[in-house]
Amino acid sequence: MAAPLLELQDVHASYGSIKALKGISLTVYPGEIVAMIGANGAGKSTTLMTICGIVQVQKGDIFYRGTSIKGTPPETLPPLGLCQVPEGRRIFPRLTVRENLELGAFYRRERTAIDRDIDQAYSFFPILKERRNQQGGTLSGGEQQMLAIARALMSRPKLLLMDEPSLGLAPKIVQKIFDIIAEINKEGTTILLVEQNANLALQTAQRGYVLETGAISMEDQAATLLDNPDIRKAYLGE
């Protein structure tokens, strides 16, 4: 197998005074979609925020493309191709759609390439072109999710971390977002996907991890996890 793109080795981290991660080890290989499922508060978002350097690693280590990124400031990661679509989308509410996209490419300098990528984002999400001069905060939930994904793509990520892209969206839009995720992956971006919608996440992903109270309780091929009766009972509501 190819060298891992991302590797977490026994990562411990706290969120405030709560010990949120108690030894997470996981690996993402280039080209994959890896799903991480688990209940509310299991530490899924904290895992992503720890990878991005927002939450500090207390023990263990994180390797991205073979080098440790433990303790590197978050703003240095997008230039390396590591980018996140965070939980709750975090669109800049009082910046326009266009400005939100521009910020996705903040570290990049080549004006023509950025403009080309913005045009590409508009053709991928025509609604964003329509709304380009509107403030981000005025968009609907689905539109904001599209903007959040488009903004992340503006940094030309190699590895995209996605946190709950389906949260609060109508089923029809959720399906559309997951189609987009599959397409982004087909075009060469590796994806680590955190989801409460375990069914959809495991259908989209090749491999999956199950997170329980800050530790990995299971890891397997996504299809195998989908067939596992315990998983079906705990996360698929059967």
Rounded to the nearest whole angstrom, what is the least distance from the CB of residue 151 to another protein in the complex? 7
In the list 38, 43, 78, 165, the residue contacting another protein (rule: CB under 8 A) is 78
Helical (H) or strand (E) element with 17: none
Contact code string over 27-66 relative to another protein, x by CB under 8 A: -------------------------x-x------------
> Which of 63, 52, 55, 53 shows the shortest CA–CA distance to 10?
63
- The amino acid sitting at 34 is V
| Structure tokens, 66 | 């073979």
Rounded to the nearest whole angstrom, what is the least distance from the CB of residue 212 to another protein in the complex? 26
Distance, in Å, from the CA atom of 205 to the CA atom of 36, rounded to the nearest integer, reads: 9
Angle (deg, nearest 10), helices 141-153 and 97-104 = 30
Contact code string over 91-130 relative to another protein, x by CB under 8 A: xxxxx---x--xxx-xx-----------------------
Taking residue 118's Cβ as centre, other Cβ atoms within 10 Å add up to 20
- The amino acid sitting at 213 is T
Rounded to the nearest whole angstrom, what is the least distance from the CB of residue 103 to another protein in the complex? 5
| Structure tokens, 110 | 């080549």
In the list 43, 69, 89, 145, the residue contacting another protein (rule: CB under 8 A) is 89
Which listed range, 71-79, 116-124, 182-190, 228-236, lies at the site for another protein (CB under 8 A)? 71-79
In the list 45, 46, 84, 204, the residue contacting another protein (rule: CB under 8 A) is 84
